[in-house]
C-alpha cells in the first residue's frame, strides 16, 4: 500500500493552482471538470502520480470559502534550506505565517506558509 494523494477543497481553483505551481513549484498533473456533479478536480505534485504522492484540489462550483475546522493540521514539504525556501515563497507572492527557525522544543528547522484558502504548508529542513 502507499498514499496516493491528499484532497483539499479550494474556493478559487485558478488561484490555488497558481499557488501550488507558481509559488511552491509543483506541476499541474491533470485537471478535469465534472459538469453533472458541478465540481472540478486538479492534481498537483512534484512528480507523476505513478511514483509520488500528490495533492488533489477539489473545486465545488459556486463555493468560494470553506471553514477549515480544527481537525486538519498541515501539508509538510521537505526542502534543502528552509530559510531560502521561505524567502523564495515570499518573493513569488506566497504568505509566510511562521518564519524559518528551530521548532518549538527541538532543533529541526521549520517554517510555515499559507495557501490562498488558509491551509498551512510546513517547510521542513532535509535531514
Question: Does 44 lie in the same domain as 12?
Answer: yes
Look at residue 47 and tell me if it is in a domain: yes
Task: Based on the fold, state whether residues 40 and 79 are members of the same structural domain.
Answer: no
Alpha-carbon torsion, ordered 2, 79, 49, 119, to 10 deg: 90
pLDDT band, residue 69 (cuts 50/70/90) = confident
Distance CA(59)–CA(40), nearest Å, equals 5
Domain-embedded: residue 42: yes
Residues 56 and 11 both lie in one domain:
yes
Active site residue 88: no
Cβ–Cβ contacts within 10 Å for residue 16, how many? 23
Q: For position 65, what pLDDT does the model report?
A: 92
pLDDT(35) > 90: yes
Contact 118, 68 (CB under 8 A): yes
Q: Are residues 45 and 82 in the same domain?
A: no
Q: What is the pLDDT of residue 75?
A: 96
In a domain, 114, yes or no: yes
Alpha carbon 85 to its chain centroid, in Å, reads 14
Is 67 domain-assigned?
no
pLDDT per position as a tens digit, 71-125: 889 999 999 999 999 999 999 999 999 999 999 888 899 999 999 999 999 999 9
Cβ contact 10:58 at 8 Å: yes
Scan for cell 498541515, then name that residue. 74
**Cα–Cα distance measured from residue 26 to residue 71, given in angstroms and rounded to the nearest whole number:** 25
Number of domains composing the chain: 2
In this prediction, residue 96 carries a pLDDT of: 98
Residue of 14, 36, 87, 122 marked active site: 122
Check residue 104 and give its pLDDT. 87
10-25 pLDDT tens trace:
999 999 999 999 999 9
Task: Check residue 71 and give its pLDDT.
Answer: 84
> Which domain covers residue 83, as residue numbers?
75-125
Amino acid at each position: 500500500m502507499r498514499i496516493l494523494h491528499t484532497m483539499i477543497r479550494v474556493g478559487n481553483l485558478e488561484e490555488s493552482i497558481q499557488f501550488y505551481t507558481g509559488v511552491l513549484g509543483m506541476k499541474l498533473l491533470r485537471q478535469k471538470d465534472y459538469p453533472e456533479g458541478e465540481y472540478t478536480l486538479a492534481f498537483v505534485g512534484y512528480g507523476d502520480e505513478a511514483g509520488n504522492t500528490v495533492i488533489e484540489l477539489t473545486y465545488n462550483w459556486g463555493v468560494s470559502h470553506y471553514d477549515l475546522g480544527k481537525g486538519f493540521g498541515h501539508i509538510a514539504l521537505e526542502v534543502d534550506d528552509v530559510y531560502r525556501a521561505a524567502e523564495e515563497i515570499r518573493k513569488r507572492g506566497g504568505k509566510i505565517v511562521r518564519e524559518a527557525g528551530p521548532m518549538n522544543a527541538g532543533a529541526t528547522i521549520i517554517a510555515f506558509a499559507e495557501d490562498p484558502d488558509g491551509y498551512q504548508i510546513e517547510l521542513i529542513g532535509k535531514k
